[in-house]
Amino acid sequence: MYHSTVFSGRSSPYQGRFRPTESKQSQTIRLTNREKEFLQWSEAGKSSWEIAVIVDCSEANVNYHFNNIRRKFGVSSRHLAGKIAREQGLI
């Protein structure tokens, strides 16, 4: 049987629950010392592998921190995160 998808006007228990959060730009972002260090090396043009050699850790560890950095800034690239961090005076 065919069911119509006409809006009935009834409110859903989920309606009104969604409230967009503040943008990442306006929130205070806190970076660990390690995240700041990795961003500074990245801004100097170093790759994950080079950063791992410099600070004597694994490349996976460097990428783990960069994933956290990107999540905190809500961006998809470490370079954009670095740009925002510079603008906000974090590095």
Spell out the domain ranges in the chain.
31-86
Predicted pLDDT of residue 29: 85
- From residue 85, alpha-carbon distances to 7, 18, 20, 53, 64 in Å are 45, 29, 23, 23, 18
The pTM of this model reads 0.67
Predicted pLDDT of residue 5: 53
pLDDT one-digit tens code per residue, 9-68: 555 555 555 444 444 445 688 999 999 999 999 999 999 999 999 999 999 999 999 999
Looking at the domain 31-86, which fold is it?
Arc Repressor Mutant, subunit A (1.10.10)
Predicted pLDDT of residue 6: 54
